[in-house]
Amino acid sequence: MRYFLHLAYNGSNFHGWQIQNNAITVQQVLNDALSLYFRTPIELNGAGRTDAGVHASDYYAHFELENPIIDSEIPKIVYKLNGLLTNDVLIYNIFHVEDSAHARFDAISRTYKYYINTKKNIFNIDFSYTFYGRLDVEKMNEACKVLFAYTDFSCFSKSNTQTKTNNCKIMQANWEQIDNGLIFTITADRFLRNMVRAVVGTLMEIGKGNIEIEDIHKIIESKNRSKAGFSVPAKGLFLSNIEYPQGLLKK
């Protein structure tokens, strides 16, 4: 039987989602907790990787169980699993899906949000990037429109990532000004490693007046990471939504 796990995590103390040697990851912590509770080895398949320090307020992974879970028992199981986990990880729900359902390959889109403080805020300093300079939000939003004209975003990707393609379809990209800060939202069918943080850093260079909107075309067409802007700190980045085909998630 295949099940989806709906969860969230604070990535501050993790080296990303995916299991690594000699590093604490979200996947490993969850594998250990589920294996302990169900008394059988459990290996989760996640919706995708997140880098070290990146957070997720909406994340899915799937796993297999030989014996089915009784629906009425799910709230108790979720409660007990959360008791086995540290305060860094929260399980929202568990639900049965078709055996062919896949947390990664069936995802239609993923949305990330990046948070910037323009004034010191001690209550969210661990979950946002503090930048005191002036940013031209209007120009940054105009630059976002350039992203829709391209699919190859090699210039925003870490090198040697072993991906088969660097093509992504961006469906949404925009900046929103809030009290004492900014939120950048971007949605695509997939993302490359470090892509969102590099996009944010590059758009900030436009906002600071260091480069012009027209330069985005040259940067993307260069397919060269060194041509793009800096990578903003991971702590401000959240995976905030994952969309699946209607009916796949039997909540």
Active site residues: 51
In angstroms, the Cα distances linking 198 to 140, 166, 174, 207 are: 14, 14, 15, 14
* Neighbouring residues of 78: CB distance < 8 A, sequence distance ≥ 6: 91, 92, 93, 94
Say which residues have a Cβ less than 8 Å from residue 205's Cβ, sequence separation at least 6.
211, 229, 230
Which residues, in sequence order, are CB contacts of 43 under 8 Å at separation 6+? 31, 63
- Cα 97 to Cα 1, 77, 195, 210, 246: the distances in Å are 8, 17, 31, 49, 12
CA 122/CA 112 separation, integer angstroms: 23
Q: Residue 222 has which token pair?
A: 């260069």
Q: How many residues does the chain have?
A: 251
Measured from the Cβ of residue 194, the count of other Cβ atoms closer than 10 Å reads 19
Q: Which residues pair with 55 in a beta bridge?
A: 238
Distance between CA atoms of residues 193 and 158, nearest Å: 6
